[in-house]
Chains A and B, each alone.
Chain A
Amino acid sequence: MTESAVIIAGLCKSYRRHPVLKRLSWTVPAGSVVGLLGKNGAGKTTLIKCALGLLHPESGHSLIFSESAWSLDAATKARIGYVPQTAGLYAWMRIKQLIAYTAAFYPRWNDKLVQSLLEQWELSADQRIGRLSVGTQQKLGIILALGHEPDLLVLDEPAASLDPAARRDFLKAVLSVAADGTRTVLFSTHITSDLERVADRVALLKDGHIAHDGPLDSLKDSVKRWHVSAAAPLPADFVVPGAVRSHVEGTEALLTIRDGTPGVLREVEQRYGAAINVEDLSLEDIFLELHDDRVS
């Protein structure tokens, strides 16, 4: 059985009595690249911080490599790489100083990887960190998190401030970390195209729960858009099982169906004499459809 990198069970967290996470349970399998999706304010950062033991949940627990996140030992921490939303770096240091400072803490340090990433992202070791742009600081934060080749790399919206070229390089770096299938990458993002490019699993955080968790392909397979063209005008109470969103106008209907089966499709075709065109959705469309509060 594969070890789980992160196991979260019954996690509750509130800010000033406003619940953010509500008895959330979730498992991140080891060796997977997991994208965490959610609207602004959904609690992605809170979930990541609780998972890492940076925030104390009101109830529930988080385990990292089977160890309580709140009291991780040194060896387990050495297996974690973390890039927060805003890279907290020592502004007064030069890049080489910060690299040396960070490397001193870790039992293994891949200097070759660090140097190649510095070169790739055109960072000079002599640059003063405080003078770097926000995006460049984020690059440096990512490099530092990769330097000790962590078994679990956690990134909180890492690419938000990167330009397209840097984002592509960053995704390459993430893929190279995950290439051997033993390392786990967990990252939250708004950029669904990035997630589609590298993630093999996706988790949707909604209303304090994980609304969906599974392989990216299965999510794409499970959510489709149906264009229904009926022979006669459709009734006002036109309902299809599994529809998360529907728009009916005369003989036409536009439906977003979750877990729609061929049987349901045939039944609709036969009952309304309809022709149904099934359309695949992009992850962004799926995200929008599942987060639309006007679900019928």
Chain B
Amino acid sequence: MTAFLKQLRQVWLAWANWPVFRVMFWVMALQWFAVWCQVRLGMFYDFGGYRGNTFEFNWWWTHGIEGLLDFCDHVIPVLLVPAVPLMIGWKLRKEMADWRSALAPRFRFLHLLVAAVIGAAILLVMAVAPAALALMQRYASTWQWNWGNAPVYYHGKQFVAFVDSISGNRLHFFDEVHGIDLRIYSAHFMHYDFWPAMAQMSWLLLTVTCIAWVAASVSSWVGLVVLLFAAAPLLGYGYNFYFFRLLAPVDYDRGRSFVDPGAVFGGPVLLLFAFDGLLLALLWRRLYLMPVGLDSVRADERVPWLSGMLVGLKRQPPGGLMNAGIWRRAAHRRAMGLGRRFIWLVAVFTAALILCSPLSYSSQQWFVHGDFAFAAILTASLISVLALGLSWPQRFAELSEIELLRPAPRNQCAREIGLAMLYDAVELAVATLGTMCVVIAIWSPSIFSTWMFWNTLAAAVLSQVLTFGLLASAMLEQSTIASMIAVVLSTLALLILMFEANWLAPSIAAAAIGVILTVHAYRRWLLAETNT
């Protein structure tokens, strides 16, 4: 027993001293501090909302301290939710690949146990527990009500309800701010919100499991697509719409038409929880039985069988590029995992999914509304950003020294590789946005005549210019962290610009920054080392 505890302590220390874990700890501390500030300041949670006909977020430049606190206690955790399983899965994979996992007794079991406890604790502390702070607030019910718009905390509501009930229901039953009588709402709290909250929690668990699965075992393009679809709803606004409603095709409107959520949600939610549990058990088993020297196994898994066919390069004869123009040479240098056919395959697949999504709703009202076009364009843009951001920096780091020694002067080489990346960026944007416009044309053709749609589309396109500049700069650092920061910044910029699409100037400014970054990256490229 003592030996077991000693081992457990060592494994725990190995995880607790992991730098990534420390970063996560401070991010969570920042989130808790922001929530605590909001409670002390008597602010209630309202992460954006409709102002007139436009949905707006509380950005710090428009809402000052309120926006900043919202950012800390909402946006940061939303980004952290996919990061936690990703990093834990990645570390577990490394641990299991280590020779000690085969020779040291209980090594695998203890690592899996500690990782599971840490992962569960982080998600609980980050996503659920902050809800408890609501109890310190005078208008706790108001918090609960407003949390309906906050995906990460949504499942925290029933936690608050539970604490409410055992604390003698000391809540004020009148929302002075909204003028809504919440007595009925509170009385039926479990009835109204328990199952929807559980539905969201089950999806959160599925998302987390999918991400951990991808990080721990399969890292192919297929896995990436799964990851995108699992993680996309966490990125915010689309969360309630994509999956919440897909799970229960009802008009969930507590104000007008009451539908018993328990009756509708119960079955699918329990099934989803069972599926989550099965996936987690399989993931545990997979890691527990994973062979030592996993990296060579992964090298094999990293290349999906379709990849060669999807590259789609035009074959050149030997020496065929010697006297070719820069455009043809750049097109030749596009050789990478993101082949042309792959780009179009992903775009069509995504569009097909979005096209089919309204079929699972009982009412298609929402789809003729502008929000559908907005969500579709946002999805297309995110896929474009992530695909470019996850593929090119890796390619550059692995192959830059070989590329640089191909017969071409350094500046020509920089231009050709930059153009090759630009080709991919443009084709990705055209493919994803173009196919999505077809979907929009099918479901809500009237939206094309609105100024808002074209503003949003322009913002999406202009934000890609910023993304290109950020990635071109990050690529030169040849660092995974720099690339991830660029992807996160691009995603944030995309969200900000698209939510502010009624005003095009920020998008144009962002695109200008993208151009400046690109030019700067080109100049730095001419002096860059290729020390991989």
Chain A residues near B (Cβ < 8 Å): 49, 52-56, 70-75, 77-78, 80, 82, 84, 88, 90-94, 97, 100-101, 103-109, 111, 128-131, 133-134
Contacts and interface: CB of A to CB of B under 8 A. Distances in A.
A54 B405 CA distance: 9
Nearest to B409: A73
Contact of B299 (A70, A100, A109, A130): A130
A52 B405 contact: yes
B532 to A, nearest CB: 7
Contact of A88 (B296, B319, B532): B532
Nearest to B403: A88
Contact of B406 (A53, A77, A108, A111): A77
A169 to B, nearest CB: 23
30 contacts: A49-B401, A49-B530, A52-B405, A54-B401, A56-B529, A70-B410, A74-B408, A74-B409, A74-B412, A75-B407, A77-B406, A77-B408, A88-B401, A88-B402, A90-B335, A92-B303, A93-B308, A93-B311, A101-B335, A103-B316, A103-B319, A104-B319, A104-B320, A106-B318, A106-B407, A109-B319, A111-B318, A128-B307, A130-B303, A131-B303
B335 A93 contact: yes
B407 A82 contact: no
A295 to B, nearest CB: 32
Interface residues of B, number: 39
Output the residue of A75, A105, A111, A130 with the most chain B CB within 10 A.
Answer: A105
Which 5 residue pairs across A and B have the least CB separation, nearest first?
A130-B303, A104-B316, A92-B307, A103-B318, A109-B318
A154 B409 CA distance: 19
Interface string B131-156: 00000000000000000000000000
A92 B311 contact: yes
Given A71-B410, A72-B409, A84 B402 contact: yes
Contact of A92 (B308, B401, B530): B308
Contacts of A70: 410
Contacts of A103: 316-319
Nearest to A74: B407
Contacts of B405: 52, 54, 77, 80, 82
Contacts of A75: 407
Contacts of B527: 56
Contacts of B531: 49, 54-55
Contacts of A88: 398-399, 401-402, 532
A90 B302 contact: no
Given A105-B321, A105-B406, A107-B322, A91 B401 contact: no
A135 to B, nearest CB: 11
A82 B398 CA distance: 15
A220 B307 CA distance: 52
Contacts of B303: 91-92, 128-131
Nearest to A77: B407
Contact of A130 (B300, B332, B402): B300
Interface string B327-349: 00000100111010000000000
B3 to A, nearest CB: 37
A129 B299 CA distance: 10
A18 B404 CA distance: 26
A92 B337 contact: yes
Given A54-B529, A101-B335, A130-B299, A106 B319 contact: yes
Contact of A54 (B308, B332, B399, B530): B530
Contacts of B256: none
Interface in B22-59: none
Contacts of A101: 313, 316, 332, 335
B6 interface: no
Given A77-B406, A93-B311, A105-B319, 14 more contacts: A49-B531, A71-B409, A88-B401, A91-B299, A92-B308, A92-B336, A94-B308, A104-B317, A105-B321, A106-B319, A106-B407, A129-B303, A130-B302, A133-B296
A275 to B, nearest CB: 52
A135 B307 CA distance: 22
Nearest to B329: A105
B315 interface: yes
B329 to A, nearest CB: 8
Contact of B321 (A54, A71, A91, A104): A104
Output the residue of B300, B320, B398, B405 with the most chain A CB within 10 A.
Answer: B405
A48 to B, nearest CB: 11
Nearest to B313: A101
Nearest to B304: A92
Output the residue of B316, B337, B406, B412 with the most chain A CB within 10 A.
Answer: B406
Interface in B384-438: 398-399, 401-402, 404-410, 412
A133 B295 CA distance: 12
Contacts of A74: 407-409, 412
